[in-house]
Structure 1
Amino acid sequence: MLLEKKLAEKRLTEAYNNAKIEYFDNKSKYIFFSDCHRGNGAPADEFAKNQNIFLYALEFYFRNGYTYVEVGDGDELWENSNFKEIRLAHDEAYSLLKKFFDSNRLIMLYGNHNICLKYSNFVEKNYYRFYDGYNEEHIELFPGITPYEAVVFKHKDTGQEILTVHGHQGDRMNDKLWRFNRLTVRYFWRYLHSIGFTNPASPVKNAERIHKIERIYSSWIEKNKIMIICGHTHRPHFPKAKELPYFNDGSCVRASGIQGIEIDDGKIMLVEWRVRYDSSGNLNIDRRILRGPEPIGKFDLRNNEYILKSEKMNL
């Protein structure tokens, strides 16, 4: 545990030191989604069941001037080696993401399941443009895009920082050993995944691993006085009173719908989009605030005294 903790804290510090800086103020508007795991439309494609919810939510955020921040694992590139198949299966999603990109309102991070986006040649080959076989022409998708491992959102007025990473940093099987883990997923676990089995290296349904990651990240937050927004565990989290500012935006593949973190008007909140029925039996896609909104400044550890639950968290 101690070695794993040191590794994770080292990786988080490296990510922070090399992060892109995104300046924001109280007029800035962001929506953070992660873990879409867009696949090729096959039975193992978990995104397919929530695609319409995702599209509806992103249309809302585009119309209302938000910047879309995809916090890793947007594309499922462990189970699928061919990005073209993913793009064709979810053409509407990429058309909408392109609208954000063309408006300079798309920030893309990579996670463990799309870690190959750290390689510029892979990104240029697959994400800059694609070939339209029907019209026999190349069409631009995200020309010149740079996916990041980490982004630090820095408030223009207060200097408060928010480190945003996918959350696999320091999770050994999904970080240092990702190539081996990808092989097991692509050639073994993907087939079991389609009938309900989960890779034991994944933290998604392993409560002990989830809590360990949360404890380690909270320890880094306490030492560095910087709040974190991440994904990876698929478990949404918004800190309660006096808890360290560890935020997790959940995922887009849960049966209940999709969760995300919104920043608007200098406040932060955890939201969920899901299908609900009304009194007439009609199905509608609704947005619900799960936690918040709270002023971002409330989570600035440089200026606030927190009562830490160190014994319970085993920091």
Structure 2
Amino acid sequence: MISEKKLAEKRLTEAYNNAKIEYFDNNSKYIFFSDCHRGDCTPSDEFAKNQNVFLFALEFYFNNGYTYVEVGDGDELWESSNFKAIRLAHDEVYSLLKKFFDSKRLIMLYGNHNIYLKYSDFVKKNYYKFYDDYNQEYVELFPGIIPCESVLFKHKNTGQEILIVHGHQGDRMNDRLWHFTKLTVRYFWRYLHSIGFINPASPVRNAEKIHKIERIYSNWIEKNKIMVICGHTHRPHFPKVNELPYFNDGSCVRESGIQGIEIVNGKIMLIEWSIRYDSSGDLHIKRKILRGPKPIETFDLRNNKTNL
């Protein structure tokens, strides 16, 4: 059996070769969120607690001209096979995502938990339009959308490349064996999940698995000299000095809030949105920069540059 290291190298190279191209420059604005795991508002729906924070953040990004990049696992289609239930549970979220889509500022990737989005028939049936039971008519959602496994960002002037993938590529149980893992999640772990147990196949809260994925991805980055932004592990990561340019945008299901990565005016930063209190005891949703900002070119390995 092929090792996970070789499997990941193979899958990442495939993702790179088949990636959708997105050109950007130093005037571009992007927000990367992943691992929302939007569910059906049952006790296992981890996104529900952060929905208002997510909506507030997304409204900010829409009003300020950002393109929204959802880096996989936006919808929790392993625990719930009924996308209609998910859409109804989080209808405000999809209304806002539609505004991005209509403005041509939505890029949607699929991960392991919403891998069904790689099937065009599923996407056409569930994401193009939906039936409004109240008004008894069909309403467009994301007509013609084509979710993808990977996106390759290319700088218009410097040619620097950034590979965007969910991060499950090469994680055997969540990649090649996803059919089996999905069944265990849907019919077993979903119920234990709602009371705090974590599926051992998941990298979440599994430090050994997280670090293994990060090492494997870093090896690919060093070999191919390409910066990577991903999710999957739910562990935010921004390279320290002299580390390879492996970035992880965290998740939208942490108790502390939602993490993401911004690329703005040629700089990259790791951010978090969370609920904070002021001196009067009033609660507010605040954005905090966790790491950065640093110029994107700092992480260009083609000229043997390092993160200094």
Give the TM bin, normalised by the shorter chain: over 0.9
Secondary structure of the 2:222 match is helix
Secondary structure of the 1:274 match is strand
Distance in 1 of aligned mates of 2:57 and 2:256 = 15
Residues 259, 271 of structure 1: 8 Å contact kept = yes
The match for 2:252 is: 252
The match for 1:214 is: 214
Secondary structure of the 1:46 match is coil
Q: What letter is aligned with 1:123?
A: V
The match for 1:121 is: 121
Cα deviation code 1:209-252 (max 9, x no counterpart)? 00000000000000000000000000000001110000000000
The match for 2:282 is: 282
Residue correspondence of structure 1 range 96-115 to structure 2 within 5 A = 96-115=96-115
Secondary structure of the 2:203 match is coil
Q: What letter is aligned with 1:298?
A: T
Q: What letter is aligned with 1:29?
A: K
Secondary structure of the 2:47 match is helix
Cα deviation code 1:110-136 (max 9, x no counterpart)? 000000000000000000000001100
Quick one: percent identity of the two aligned structures? 82
Q: Does 1:190 pair with 2:190?
A: yes
Cα deviation code 1:236-294 (max 9, x no counterpart)? 00001110000000000000000000000100000000000000000000000000000
The match for 2:26 is: 26
Displacement of 1:3 in angstroms is: 1.5
Distance in 1 of aligned mates of 2:25 and 2:57 = 23
The match for 1:178 is: 178
Displacement of 1:183 in angstroms is: 0.3
Displacement of 1:307 in angstroms is: 8.7
* Number of residue pairs the alignment of both structures matches: 308
Secondary structure of the 2:167 match is coil
Secondary structure of the 1:195 match is coil
Residues 77, 114 of structure 1: 8 Å contact kept = yes
Distance in 2 of aligned mates of 1:81 and 1:307 = 43
Distance in 2 of aligned mates of 1:3 and 1:85 = 38
Displacement of 1:41 in angstroms is: 0.4
Displacement of 1:304 in angstroms is: 3.1
Displacement of 1:306 in angstroms is: 3.7
Residues 33, 251 of structure 2: 8 Å contact kept = yes
The match for 1:5 is: 5
Q: Does 1:56 pair with 2:56?
A: yes
Q: What letter is aligned with 1:236?
A: P
The match for 1:291 is: 291
Distance in 1 of aligned mates of 2:281 and 2:78 = 39
Distance in 1 of aligned mates of 2:279 and 2:2 = 54
Distance 1:282 1:165, change over 3 A: same
Distance in 1 of aligned mates of 2:265 and 2:30 = 10
The match for 2:229 is: 229
The match for 2:36 is: 36
Distance in 2 of aligned mates of 1:15 and 1:3 = 18
Residues 298, 304 of structure 1: 8 Å contact kept = no
Q: Could you tell me which runs of 5 or more consecutive residues in structure 1 were left unpaired when the two chains were aligned.
A: 309-315
Q: Could you tell me which runs of 5 or more consecutive residues in structure 2 were left unpaired when the two chains were aligned.
A: none
Q: What letter is aligned with 1:282?
A: D
Q: What letter is aligned with 1:203?
A: P
The match for 2:202 is: 202
Residue correspondence of structure 1 range 109-188 to structure 2 within 5 A = 109-188=109-188
Q: Structure 1-normalised TM-score? A: 0.96
Q: What letter is aligned with 1:167?
A: G
Secondary structure of the 2:303 match is coil
Q: Structure 2-normalised TM-score? A: 0.99
The match for 1:312 is: none
Q: How well do the aligned residues superpose, as a CA RMSD in angstroms? A: 1.2
Residues 118, 148 of structure 1: 8 Å contact kept = yes
Q: What letter is aligned with 2:114?
A: N
Distance in 1 of aligned mates of 2:110 and 2:305 = 33
Secondary structure of the 2:3 match is helix
